[in-house]
Chain A
Amino acid sequence: MQNRTLEVGVGLFLLAGMLALMLLALRVSGLAVGAGEDTYKVYAHFDNIAGLTVRSKVTMAGVSIGKVTAIDLDRDSYTGRVTMELNKDVDNLPIDSTASILTAGLLGEKYVGISVGGEEELLADGGTIHDTQSSLVLEELIGKFLLNSVNKDSAN
């Protein structure tokens, strides 16, 4: 009898441990089971990716359709090359679609937004989005604004 309580207690303990691992995997880290295969790769070159990070989401019409998997510098064109993995069920993007880096809220995280183009031809696996809009950099904006007001002053 004594032995049985021990074994039940240990069994429950081990179960609790495994349950904890499952919760951490599914609920906390959002690990999806068996969702590794059904994506395809698309590249986009940006003049400035400022603030975009790996694992940022890729959205279309506000709906998340993929994520950024790699960011590196293209040595030839001196632009930032962003590698995105898009869900296979969104495979009808025209090749002249636009990718822009957007910000959630004023200081929130950066993400890639894709808006549809008009071409018949579709983006294939490994294709590149050519029409891109870079991230909004606050310093540049302020710089332009200051320059404008200086020009106005000197014009007067």
Chain B
Amino acid sequence: MRRKSPLERVQLLGRAGIDVVTSLGRSTIFLLAALFGRGTSGKFTQLLIKQLYSVGVMSLAIIVVSGVFIGMVLSLQGFSILAAYGSEQAVGQMIALTLLRELGPVVTALLFAGRAGSALTAEIGNMKSTEQLSSLAMIGVDPLKYIVAPRLWAGFISMPLLAMIFSVVGIWGGSMVAIDWLGVYEGSFWSNMQNSVSFTDDVVNGIIKSIVFAFVVTWIAVFQGYDCEPTSEGISRATTRTVVYASLAVLGLDFILTALMFGDF
């Protein structure tokens, strides 16, 4: 292989830049067309319910189990640190604020990307490689409306709900460890929590975060499936990309959102 001249290197950089921009543009057009485009949507509710089941209900188990364990671990760690300062009662507020502000939305989004996002990509990619999407288009059914839109909406709806369930279950797990096992007094556990958690600042901001994450993760998952190379190798690469891109996007966005919401101390 011969050495590349500086001009060729610049050309490669330009090509990579153009690729990124075109793919961003295509995915935006894809999203807008799927969400707001005109088309047949007579059976939309039924399609949505089916997707809500496979995206939301099927993710419940992993969300609930990880929520309980994360809450319990937070409780144990928080207790051992706070006990050094003689303020074990504050463990309740620590668990609640950590879960509501950060871990609830973020961990749910990461688990969702792994559990539901990868499945969405693989499913749509497989449909594309077996030419189901083009067959649908041929019989006059818009695949964006029939396949893509219900999956997008199902993701947008189910993830905030999953994040809230995650927080509740986590707080329950944490309270179990703190009260029943470590012996924190129950009254001060809950009253400390209620004093320090504000509905508008903490709960609502957490929900806003999870709505943003839901949007990004589902969008990435569905677009990667729709845009993948229609071979088995292409599907596997698209699935990997979904998980990697979605996780990175969630973590990056989380920093930005946290700075916007809680940064002005």
| Interface residues in chain A, defined as those with a beta carbon under 8 Å from any beta carbon in chain B | 3, 6-7, 9-10, 12-14, 16-18, 20-21, 23-25, 27-31, 55, 57, 107-108
Contacts of B106 in A (CB 8 A): none
Instruction: Answer whether residue B56 sits at the interface, using C-beta atoms and an 8 A cutoff.
Output: yes
Q: Can you list 21 A-B contacts (CB < 8 A)?
A: A9-B53, A10-B56, A10-B57, A13-B56, A13-B158, A13-B161, A17-B161, A17-B162, A17-B164, A17-B165, A20-B167, A24-B168, A28-B167, A28-B168, A28-B197, A29-B203, A30-B193, A55-B196, A57-B195, A107-B85, A107-B86
Given A28-B100, A57-B195, A16 and B165 touching (CB < 8 A)? yes
Given A10-B56, A13-B56, A23-B168, A29 and B202 touching (CB < 8 A)? yes
Q: Is the CB of B161 within 8 A of A20?
A: yes
Q: Is the CB of B167 within 8 A of A7?
A: no
Q: Kindly supply a per-residue 1/0 record for chain B positions 191-223, scoring 1 wherever the CB is within 8 Å of any chain A CB and 0 otherwise.
A: 001111111001100010000000000000000
Q: Is the CB of B53 within 8 A of A10?
A: yes
Q: Is the CB of A29 within 8 A of B199?
A: yes
Q: Is the CB of B167 within 8 A of A24?
A: yes
Q: Is the CB of A29 within 8 A of B53?
A: no
Q: Is the CB of B53 within 8 A of A6?
A: yes
Instruction: Answer whether residue B152 sits at the interface, using C-beta atoms and an 8 A cutoff.
Output: no
Contacts of A108 in B (CB 8 A): 87
Q: Is the CB of B164 within 8 A of A29?
A: no
Q: Which of B49, B96, B161, B164 contacts A6 (CB 8 A)?
A: B49
Contacts of B207 in A (CB 8 A): 21
| Interface residues in chain B, defined as those with a beta carbon under 8 Å from any beta carbon in chain A | 46, 49-50, 52-53, 56-57, 60, 85-87, 96, 100, 158, 160-162, 164-165, 167-168, 171, 190, 193-199, 202-203, 207
Q: Is the CB of A55 within 8 A of B87?
A: no
A-B interface, 3 closest residue pairs, ranked by CB to CB distance from nearest: A30-B194, A17-B161, A20-B164
A144 to B102, CA, bound (A): 44
Q: Which of B52, B162, B195 contacts A30 (CB 8 A)?
A: B195
Given A25-B199, A25-B203, A9 and B57 touching (CB < 8 A)? yes
A41–chain B nearest beta-carbon distance, Å:
19
Contacts of B167 in A (CB 8 A): 20, 24, 28
Contacts of A23 in B (CB 8 A): 168
A25 to B199, CA, bound (A): 6
Q: Is the CB of A30 within 8 A of B53?
A: no
